[in-house]
Amino acid sequence: MVRGAVGVARRAGLSPLIIGLTVVAIGTSAPELVTTLTATLDGAPDLALGNVIGSNLANMLLILGVAALIKPVACAPKVIARDGTMVLVATVLFVAMAMTGVFVLWHGIVLLAVLALYLGLTYRAERRMESDSLHAKEVEEVSGVPERALIASLFLLGGLIGTVLGAKLLVDGGVAVAESLGVSKTVIGLTLVAIGTSLPELAIVVVASMRGHSDVALGNVLGSNIFNLLGITGVVAVVAPLEVSASLLQFDIWLLLGVTALLLPLMLTGGRLSRREGTLLVLLYAGFLAFQAESVRSLVI
């Protein structure tokens, strides 16, 4: 889907900066969006919000940790100042709205407005140096882009259909697993579903890291988190109310906020994420999964 969308955007004459800011960012977050929206409309809001929170945790701990293990991730001060700060602002805003107990229409409008403001400011900041733009570089990491418009359109259409069908299967499977184990849908959303929908980011980040483009890996993770919190939650809240479960309010949203606050100083120390820090992130994610697995085991027993 992403390959097709990039191909269509190129044929339409869009600049790499705009393609990176919109097409690639939205494309890699499409599984989270479709899965969250499907879960909400199917009456599984716990799984939906669990997916958003779990995907962001997977991005920061697992995906960024793996990228640092492959090669230390360069953290440019200007990227941290803009995108890193925006991730923290989006997380604080998300947590504040979650504490009301339900995301409603006006929440969604505010979240989408903040996202639009961020995209506008980023475009203004990078358009004068587009050749060195982080978001323009993200487009270069998308390999196998069809050159012919017809082929690109078929890639896009086929990818969209696959994403929608995959999201439906993922939600139905997640609900069935939760019911068969007798555990909450929140746990399934935080773990199995979140990891599944984060695979596009993992693929792009691993490829970028292996090519030595660690700055692109960082930009992709930060951009994905911003889109998840503002774009996905915003769109879903506009379509239908999104209730927040008690378990998310008691623990998971605070964990999300804590991990986000931890990541910023790690990125600022030495101007990079070292392999040692990458190991720490991966171990923290393993601990998170172990905690969720233990909660499942205790409930099953």
Of 112-121, 195-204, 221-230, 248-257, give the lowest mean pLDDT range: 195-204
The DSSP bridge partners found for residue 74 are: 272
Rounded Cα distance between 205 and 221, Å, is: 8
> Between these two residues, 217 and 103, which has the higher pLDDT value?
103
- pLDDT value at position 139? 67
Is 132 a domain residue? no
Rounded Cα distance between 293 and 246, Å, is: 19
Of 39-48, 49-58, 62-71, 282-291, give the lowest mean pLDDT range: 39-48
Is 3 a domain residue? no
> What value does the mean pLDDT take over residues 142-150?
80
Is 135 a domain residue? no
> Residue 56 — pLDDT band, cuts 50, 70, 90?
very high
Is 134 a domain residue? no
pLDDT tens profile 104-127? 999 999 999 999 998 888 777 767
Is 145 a domain residue? no
- pLDDT value at position 238? 93
Contact 219, 141 (CB under 8 A): no
CATH at residue 262? 1.20.1420.30
Contact 205, 217 (CB under 8 A): yes
> What value does the mean pLDDT take over residues 218-241?
88
- Read off the pTM: 0.85
Q: Which domain range does residue 198 map to?
A: 31-127+166-300
Q: Among candidates 263, 286, 283, which has minimal Cα distance to 191?
A: 286
**Torsion sign (Cα): 188, 185, 88, 289:** negative
Listed in sequence order, the DSSP H helices in the chain are 2-11, 16-18, 25-41, 45-57, 64-70, 77-79, 85-98, 105-126, 134-140, 149-181, 185-188, 194-197, 199-210, 214-226, 233-239, 246-247, 253-268, 275-300
> What value does the mean pLDDT take over residues 13-31?
72
> Between these two residues, 299 and 203, which has the higher pLDDT value?
203
Is 9 a domain residue? no
Is 191 a domain residue? yes
10 Å CB burial of residue 257 (0-12, 13-18, 19+) is middle
pLDDT tens profile 278-290? 999 999 999 988 8
- pLDDT value at position 211? 75
Phi, psi of 156, deg, nearest 5: -65, -50
Contact 91, 257 (CB under 8 A): yes
Task: Give, in order, the Cα–Cα distances in Å from 101 to each of 166, 218, 225.
Answer: 29, 32, 21
Which tokens is 149 given?
Answer: 């418009």
Q: How many domains does the chain have?
A: 1
- pLDDT value at position 99? 94
DSSP label at residue 273: E
Is 201 a domain residue? yes
- pLDDT value at position 36? 84
pLDDT tens profile 65-84? 988 888 888 777 777 888 88
